[in-house]
A and B are shown apart, each in its own frame.
Chain A
Amino acid sequence: MATAYTPGLQVTDCMRYRARRVLPIAGDVLVAVGDRVGARDVVAKTELPGDATPINLANQLSLMPADVPECMLKQEGDRVEVGDVLARTKGIFGMFKAEYVSKVSGVIESVSHVTGQVIIRGESIPVEVRAFAAGEVVEVMPGEGVIVEADVSFVQGIFGIGGEAFGPIVMACQDHTQEFSADLIRDDMRGAIVIGGARMPGETIRRAIDFGVAAVISGGMDDSDLKDVLGYDLGVAVTGTERIGITVIITEGFGEIAMAQKTFALLASRAGAEAAVNGATQIRAGVLRPEIVIPVDAGTTDTSTHASTGTHIASVLEPGTSVRIIRDPYFGVIGTVAGLPSEPMVLGSGSKARVLEVACESGEKLTVPRANVEIIGG
């Protein structure tokens, strides 16, 4: 077997990007098939049912639960404001009546005669879904959401934190190997998506948050900095809901590692363009990687390229393929496949595995397990 499948991350200067934008629960879709939408346009919205507050009236009014429904002054479906009398007991000979005054506002959802519990549903929470990619609505799933397609420059990161963010691309580093130090964050970067080069220290992220930067993207960062920024040690790579005031994406990995030349060049070539990024990462079955989506103008589109929703691409590994080694001791080394020995080899660890030979840029030839490389460039 001279070839093998191995995962890689997508870095494409132009492709047809298909964004599935759906509501968490059924709601209204605001656009129609064929509409042109901007990245920040709301395409669907709904209202999440508000918080339900249970009130045990049987205990509050010293009643048998079965008596609660007849003491209710408001019925199911009625609106209740703070201070409204919700229920009143019959009392003795019309005297000594006890009342319950509502402490929450909302709509009475149910009155139970078993538990004596009344559930008041609070104000509903509006939820809006934006288009994310500026493009064309190609499909509407009634009540659920839409699919937006756009021609974009597309970059997948390896790991990110924070949710969706929008802004113009601004380059901070001059070179993909330059460290993204804090002093490279400038005042005029407010609301921008700032691209760094190599490792990004925690200080840079903190400064970016202070300056109101929308997102920072760089090659790598230290785990200890991530812990500092998040305030806790991230255990499982399921992210996207953090609220730290910024979206952070790393494209290569943890540690001292430079952004891939190709990724850097692509982002640099689109400097100034409006982009959308999402830091949400989920490394589980059904992998989700952070995305950087930069719409390109119609006309320059080559629609025949990938129609991917942004998962792994599987490319063929063969001699000459550019690969990056993604495991110590050669983590981050970039080279080309020089050979694919078919017989498994005994590794330094003592285990047997199929390997490949990588010719590095430095001229050195390394032998590594096939599982430990990923295809870059393609």
Chain B
Amino acid sequence: MTTLNPDQINVILATDCGSTTTKAILIEKIDGQYRQTHRGEAPTTVEQPVADVTAGVINAATEVGELAGRRLVNEQGQIIRPAKPASGGQPPEGCDIYISTSSAGGGLQMLVTGVVREMTAASAKRAALGAGAIVMDTIASNDRRKPHEQIQRIRELRPDMILMSGGTDGGTIEHVVEIAELIAPAKPQPRFGTGYRMPVIYAGNKEAAKFVAETFDDSVDLTVVENIRPVLERENLGPARDQIHDVFLEHVMAHAPGYDKLIDWTDAPIMPTPGAVGDILQQIAKARGINVVGVDIGGATTDVFSVFDGPEGEPVFNRTVSANLGMSYSISNVCAEAGMPSVLRWVHFDMDERELRNRVKNKMIRPTTIPQTLEALVFEQAVSREALRLAYIQHREFATTLKGVQQQRTVGDTFSQQKSGQSIVDNMKLDLLVASGGVLSHAPRMEQTASMLIDAFEPEGVTELAKDSIFMMPHLGVLASVHSRAALEVFEKDCLIYLGTCVAAKGRTKPGKQCFSYEISGSTLNERGEMSFGDVRLFPLGLGETARITVEPARGFDVGGGPGKRVEREVRGGTVGLILDARGRPLILPEDRAECRRTVKEWSESLRLYEGSGSPRRR
């Protein structure tokens, strides 16, 4: 790997090797600014008959090269570096750096252990998720399973690696060794290859490290890093996270077909795809000083990322993977977990439940089909709202302040003793909500994407909505590690498509009562009026435009300044525009089915969700 002066980087090639497709993008410096110019994709080639991931990478890179009129791959099937401008009738060729992410083969699957589920085990889980892993299970002393059940579970799982934590420095040794004594006899088998030893990263009480090492035999490959929770008051995720990436490259990737070659090619370490997405969101949050939530809804899983101010004001990053909330493989599970009535409340016309249940299962067993009729689309989007809502609930529960911290009190706290471990996710403080994933990115109308986001996440106050145009975030995440300016420029200009801004009031009252009054002034949009509770309104405000909005909430409503306090903000337009939401928070739909249908229909008309599409029809 070479280190380059960032100023000399003009052409960047980035690939993301997914389970099914390898996507390549080309970023070029145009007039001193980095822009994403071309993209291409090809099937991923990790399985037979090719069994070499680089074949797919080359195919994707060739496609990008053809589109860009730039020769990126030479006759030997290698990526040309560095970039050379066109000369002597030859087209320009090569790129300055090449980077890649990977989630092929189901991504990075991990087992984490800790002593107390809510404390060190939660920290270990945070480290693993933050590094882009899928956490298969969390073993802890208090996970309410008997030791032999825990052993059984470890035996059944075939993780790529195990992260062990537990105990503060100088804390418990006994519990940590006990867990090691569960792992050792279980003899977990790695998922890939029979020839290599199970990698175990130990990030617990440093005094217990030697006893842990004694417990294991040769069948595991133990590495010891700094304690993830040296004291309960502080989390130290960095060393464990870095070690996970190293082990990922050394062991997991090295055993996947063709990855050894790919590792040599790249100018920055290959990252697990979700880890890279997390990185770019952290970068953007830091650069703009905002709180961000990102979501990626896939066929099988839904990832939620958030960057929020922690208790000391420092930004805290969290990621969760809801393993069984998705739109195709897991669609049936969403319906089972949320319940059919919860899904159907978002549908504004009548549907036969038995037929729907069969349709859901048919989608599950044939995951690649797409909705043909408006009716099917509305239903899928209803399911997505519930999937996103459930994923976000899980995320809020996970993204908390640290538990087990001693509290300082005064007598003034007598009646207001807040407990620790509160969620740091606060919708009122949320500034930017970024959507990606098929059902959100490929919705026929952007209004539908915006509506799904608002209904599922219930943002409060003033929140910008955006979507990832072509799922470029993983590429930019890796790029950020070598050239953060380029990554941020491309992220703002090409990666995000701003949908607009949502202004929502928190609070509830009776339908029809006043919720807030507003006054919007901008170059193209000048409006004033009142919003009654239950209303939602869409104003056109194009991409790149801004307007000034003054909101005067009624008593008991809060749009960010406190209950009943006036708020004045600059809002950004987008492909959808400015959405004023007076439906109240928490958003509650009428219990009665007919009433609910009517309400949802009104909302979808105000937001122009299905304008221009055929009206729902039945066969």
Q: CB distance A235 to B372 under 8 Å?
A: no
The answer to whether B370 and A371 touch across the interface, beta carbons within 8 angstroms, is yes
Q: Which residues of B contact A353 (CB under 8 A)?
A: 370
Assess whether B373 is in contact with A329, with CB atoms less than 8 Å apart.
yes
Within 8 A of B (CB), among A68-127: 109-110, 112, 114-115, 117, 119, 121
Contact call A115/B178, Cβ cutoff below 8 A: yes
Report the minimal beta-carbon distance from A252 to chain B, rounded to whole angstroms: 9
Inter-chain contacts of B613 with A (CB < 8 A): 348-350
Asked whether B532 is an interface residue with its Cβ less than 8 Å from the other chain, the reply is no
Q: Is the CB of B610 within 8 A of A347?
A: no
- The answer to whether B329 touches A237, judged by C-beta atoms less than 8 angstroms apart, is yes
Closest chain-B Cβ to A144's Cβ sits at a distance in Å of 8
Does A273 reach chain B (CB closer than 8 Å)? no
- Residue A298 is within 8 A (CB to CB) of chain B in the complex: no
In the complex formed, the residue of B with least CB distance to A237 is: B364
Chain A residue at minimum C-beta to C-beta distance from B300: A284
- Contacts of A245-262 to chain B: CB distance below 8 A: 253-255
Which of the four size classes fits the interface of chain A? 35 or more
Pair B374/A255 contact, Cβ less than 8 Å: no
Residues of B within 8 A of A352 (CB): 444
With A222-B354, A235-B337, A254-B358: A110-B181 Cβ-Cβ less than 8 Å: yes
Whole-angstrom distance from the CB of B614 to the nearest CB of chain A? Answer: 5
Q: Could you tell me if B148 and A327 are in contact, using CB atoms closer than 8 angstroms? A: no
Residues of chain A with a CB closer than 8 A to B619's CB: 328-330
Interface secondary structure of B, over-half rule: helix
Question: Are A236 and B374 within 8 A (Cβ)?
Answer: no
The smallest C-beta distance from B338 to any residue of chain A, in angstroms, reads 11
| Closest residue of B by beta carbon distance from A141 | B194
Query: Once the chains bind, are A49 and B369 in contact (CB under 8 Å)?
Result: no
**Docked CA distance A327–B367 (Å):** 10
What residues of chain B lie closer than 8 Å to A164, measured between beta carbons? none
B355: nearest residue on chain A (CB-CB)?
Answer: A255
Instruction: Determine whether B512 belongs to the interface, using a CB cutoff of 8 Å to chain A.
Output: no
Query: What is the distance, in angstroms, from B282's C-beta to the closest C-beta of chain A?
Result: 28
With a cutoff of 8 Å between Cβ atoms, the chain A residues found around residue B19 in the complex are 285
Looking at the complex, which one of B330, B362, B377 makes contact with A326 (CB distance below 8 Å)?
B362
Docked-complex contact B362 and A327, CB < 8 angstroms: yes
Report the bound CA distance from A66 to B445 in whole Å: 69
In the complex, what residues of A have CB within 8 A of residue B324's CB?
A: 235-236
How far in angstroms is the closest Cβ of chain B from A34? Answer: 25
Note all chain A residues with C-beta closer than 8 A to B362: 253-255, 326-328, 331
- When distances are taken between beta carbons in the complex, the residues of chain B under 8 Å from A347 are 371-373
Say yes or no: A327-B332 contact (C-beta < 8 A), given A285-B20, A350-B613.
no
- Of B20, B211, B359, B612, the residue contacting A350 (CB under 8 A) is B612
Asked if A242 lies at the interface with its beta carbon under 8 angstroms from chain B, I say: no
A284-B329, A350-B445 given; A115·B181 CB < 8 A: yes
Chain B positions 579-619 with a Cβ under 8 Å from a chain A Cβ: 610, 612-614, 617-619
CB of B66 within 8 Å of the partner chain: no
Question: Contact at A253–B366, with CB atoms within 8 Å?
Answer: yes
A224 to B142, CA, bound (A): 37
Q: How large is the interface on B (under 10, 10 to 19, 20 to 34, 35 or more residues)?
A: 35 or more
Residues of B within 8 A of A374 (CB): 366
- How many Å from the CB of B211 to the closest CB on chain A? 5
Of the candidates B360, B369, B377, which one forms a contact with A351 in the assembled complex, judged by CB atoms under 8 Å apart?
Answer: B377
Decide yes or no: A112 and B177 within 8 Å by CB, A52-B151, A234-B332 being known contacts: yes
Chain A residue with the shortest CB-CB distance to B366: A326
Give the residue name and chain of the A residue nearest to B445 (CB).
A350
| A7: contacting residue among B363, B368, B614, CB under 8 A | B368
Is B361 among interface residues, defined by CB-CB distance under 8 A? yes
Q: Which residues of A contact B373 (CB under 8 A)?
A: 328-329, 347-349
Is B67 on the interface with A (CB-CB < 8 A)? no
CA A219 to CA B199, docked complex, whole Å = 46
A327 to B375, CA, bound (A): 12
Is A233's beta carbon under 8 Å from chain B?
yes
Whose C-beta in chain B lies nearest to the C-beta of A109?
B185
Q: Are B377 and A350 in contact (CB under 8 A)?
A: yes
- A138 contacts the other chain (CB 8 A): no
Q: Which of A328-378 contact B (CB under 8 A)?
A: 328-331, 347-353, 368-369, 371-372, 374
Determine if B50 is an interface residue (Cβ-Cβ < 8 Å). Answer: no
Query: Is A158 within 8 A of B365, CB to CB?
Result: yes
A353→B442 CA distance, assembly (Å): 11
Say yes or no: is A223 at the interface (Cβ < 8 Å to chain B): yes
Interface membership of A54, Cβ < 8 A: yes
> Would you call A327 and B372 a contact (CB within 8 A)?
yes
Judge whether A158 and B366 touch: CB under 8 Å: yes
B329 touches A283 (CB 8 A): yes
Find A372's partner among B174, B184, B370 (CB 8 Å cutoff).
B370
- Considering only residues 167-193 of chain B, those with a C-beta below 8 Å from chain A are 173-174, 177-178, 181-182, 184-187, 189
Q: Which of B329, B365, B367, B614 contacts A348 (CB 8 A)?
A: B614
CB A284 to nearest CB in B, in angstroms, measures: 6
C-alpha spacing A25/B194, complex, angstroms: 10
Q: Is B152 part of the binding interface, using a Cβ–Cβ cutoff of 8 Å?
A: yes
Q: How far is the CB of A253 from chain B (nearest CB, A)?
A: 5
Say which residue of A119, A283, A350 sits within 8 Å of B610 (CB atoms).
A350
Least CB separation from A220: chain B residue: B358
Q: Binary interface profile of B, 229-265, with partner A (CB < 8 Å = 1, else 0)?
A: 0000000000000000000000000000000000000
Inside 8 A of B174's CB, which chain A residues have their CB? 65, 114-115
* Known contacts A121-B185, A233-B332, A235-B336; 20 further A-B pairs (Cβ under 8 A): A159-B361, A222-B358, A223-B358, A224-B354, A254-B357, A254-B358, A254-B359, A254-B361, A255-B358, A283-B329, A283-B367, A327-B366, A329-B372, A331-B362, A347-B371, A348-B372, A348-B374, A349-B374, A350-B445, A371-B369
Query: Can you identify 5 A-B contacts, CB atoms within 8 angstroms?
Result: A222-B358, A234-B332, A330-B619, A331-B362, A353-B370
Query: A residues engaging B (CB < 8 A)?
Result: 7, 25, 49, 51-54, 65, 109-110, 112, 114-115, 117, 119, 121, 144, 158-159, 222-224, 226, 233-237, 253-255, 281, 283-286, 326-331, 347-353, 368-369, 371-372, 374
Going nearest first, the 6 A-B pairs with the smallest beta carbon separation are A235-B333, A350-B444, A350-B613, A349-B377, A255-B358, A233-B336
